[in-house]
Structure 1
Amino acid sequence: MPTALLGHVPATLRSLAERAARAVGVEVDRRPFGKRLAGLCDRLDIRAALDAGATKGQYAAFLRRHGFHGHIVSCEPIGDAYEDLVRTAATDLAWHPERLALGATPGHVEVDVANRTRSPSGPSHSRTAPGHERAAMSTVDDLFDSYGYPPERSLLKVDAHGHEWGVLDGAAHSLPRLAAVQVELPLTPPHAGQRLLTDVTERLGRAGLALWWLEPGSTDPVTGRMLRCEGVFARFDR
Structure 2
Amino acid sequence: MSDQTRANRARETAKLLIRRTLQRADLEIGRGSYAGRLVRTLDARGIDTVLDVGANVGQYATLTRSAGFAGRIISCEPLGGAFAELARRAGRDDRWTTLNVAVGAETGEATINVSANSFSSSIRGMTDAHLRTAPGSRFVATEVVPVTTVADLVATHAVDPARTLLKIDTQGFEGEVLRGAGDLVGRVAAIQLELSFVELYDGQLLFDELVGAMAHDGYRIQQLEPGISDPDGRMLQVDGLFVLASGD
TM-score normalized with structure 1 length: 0.81
Match of 1:168 among 164, 178, 184: 178
Match of 1:225 among 231, 234, 238: 234
The 2-side partners of 1:45 and 1:190 are apart by: 34
Name segments (4+ residues, structure 1) moved above 4 Å. Answer: none
Q: Deviations over 1:64-91 (max 9, x none)?
A: 0101111101000000000111100000
The 2-side partners of 1:168 and 1:141 are apart by: 10
The 2-side partners of 1:109 and 1:179 are apart by: 29
Q: Deviations over 1:105-132 (max 9, x none)?
A: 001011111252327xxxxxxxxxx921
Aligned AA (2:159): Y
Q: Find the counterpart in structure 2 of residue 157 from structure 1.
A: 167
Any gaps of 5 or more consecutive residues in structure 1? 1-9, 12-28, 120-129
Shift in Å, 1:236: 3.6
Match of 1:116 among 105, 117, 121: 121
RMSD: 1.6
Structure 1 residue 132 and structure 2 residue 142: aligned? yes
SS of 2:167's equivalent in the other structure is strand
The 2-side partners of 1:213 and 1:52 are apart by: 19
Structure 1 residue 183 and structure 2 residue 193: aligned? yes
Q: How does 1:24-63 map to 2 (within 5 A)?
A: 30-63=31-64
Q: Deviations over 1:183-228 (max 9, x none)?
A: 100010111111111100111111111111111111112x100000
Shift in Å, 1:30: 2.7
Query: Percent identity among equivalent residues?
Result: 36
Structure 1 residue 91 and structure 2 residue 80: aligned? no
| Count of residue correspondences | 201
Any gaps of 5 or more consecutive residues in structure 2? 1-10, 13-29, 125-139
Aligned AA (1:229): V
Q: Find the counterpart in structure 2 of residue 237 from structure 1.
A: 246
Aligned AA (1:118): I
The 2-side partners of 1:92 and 1:189 are apart by: 37
